[in-house]
Structure 1
Amino acid sequence: MSPSLDAALLQQLEQHALALPGVVLDIKWGGVRVLQIEGKMFATFHDGGVAFKVDADDFLALCDLPGVTPAPYLARARWIKLHTLQSFSVAQVEARLAAARLIVLSRLSKATRAQYGL
């Protein structure tokens, strides 16, 4: 049996992401916990899982891993949802959340990126 994403682990992952510069939490759509940078979503916590943006080149390969599916409503924007930790360690999920933030940040204006040292 693979490690589940229980409430304590989801909270740990959320707190890790919230510690990244510029990240804020918003509650949307009847209780979905949404992490944003400069008003742009990069991760959500809902229904016992975490969803986040991934690089377009990695999307299909990641979706083939156990415990990973395309994120509902966001798959066309290259988001995945983790239901378990079958394919990733906690540290790897934390790194992927940080990478999701950077993917979204990289698409913002040059001035905004400069505020974050990019």
Structure 2
Amino acid sequence: MTREQFDSYCGGMKATTNVIQWGNASVWKIGGKIFAICSNWGDGKEGPEDQLEGRSENQSKNASIGSEPEVHTPRISFKCSDLAYELLPEQHGIIPAPYLARAKWVQINNPNAMSEQDLKLHLDAAYEIIAKKLTKKVRAELGVKI
């Protein structure tokens, strides 16, 4: 999923807002609470899975002259349920999200780690988890029924 597709999908959810912060990350919120983030942090790039691991930023910068330019892929992070937090990091290309793992967030580092359909289901679940934490009054003001 591209960043544009991510933004379009999250923007289609009821009462969501988007802010760009933390080094150009696309941060999606419901009622002021974050449920998903898309950024180009790190060295994730399009290509075979084995190319995504084990390369430092300097190695990427020092690629041989004449080689194909690297295209950085978005890293998508989202809030997940307790069960999803236990299971998802067992898949190649999905890790506990840096800085957010203690709150049960995961990050997709490899664009092939999850289908777009599954990612959308997890984004829906993240939205619902955060929306449920809002007060009834705030949910009513936003017109969100969970």
TM-score by length of 1: 0.86
Are 1:97 and 2:97 matched, yes or no? no
CA deviation after TM superposition for structure 1 residue 86, in Å: 3.2
Q: How many residues align?
A: 111
Instruction: Give the CA deviation at 1:27.
Output: 1.2
Give the % identical residues.
29
Work out which of the residue numbers 11, 14, 24 in structure 2 matches 1:18: 11
SS at 1:113's partner residue? Answer: helix
Specify which of 100, 108, 116 is matched with residue 82 of structure 1: 108
Q: Write out aligned runs for 1:17-56 (5 A).
A: 17-47=10-40, 48-56=74-82
Amino acid at match of 2:38: F
- Bigger CA drift: 79-88 or 91-100? 79-88
Structure 1: gaps (5+ residues): none
RMSD: 1.4
Structure 2: gaps (5+ residues) = 41-73
Q: 2:78, 2:106 within 8 Å by CA — same for their partners in 1?
A: yes
The whole-number CA distance in structure 2 between the counterparts of 1:107 and 1:40 is 9
2:6–2:38 contact (8 Å) kept in structure 1: no
Deviation of 1:10 after TM superposition, in Å, equals 2.5
Deviation track 1:43-98 (CA, whole Å, cap 9, x = no partner) reads: 11112210000002220211111110111100000000012243421111112111
2:85 corresponds, among 50, 59, 62, to 59
* Partner Cα distance (2:98, 2:15) in 1: 26
Q: Which structure: larger Rg?
A: 2
- TM-score of the two chains, using structure 2 as the length reference: 0.70
Local SS of the residue matching 1:73:
coil
Higher strand proportion (structure 1 or 2): 1
Which of 98, 110, 116 is residue 72 of structure 1 equivalent to?
Answer: 98
Helix, strand or coil: the match of 2:36? strand
Q: Runs of at least 4 residues of structure 1 off by over 4 A?
A: none
> What amino acid is the match of 2:37?
T
**One-letter code of the match for 2:26?**
R
AA paired with 2:14? P
Q: Mean alpha-carbon deviation: is it higher for 87-96 or for 102-111?
A: 87-96
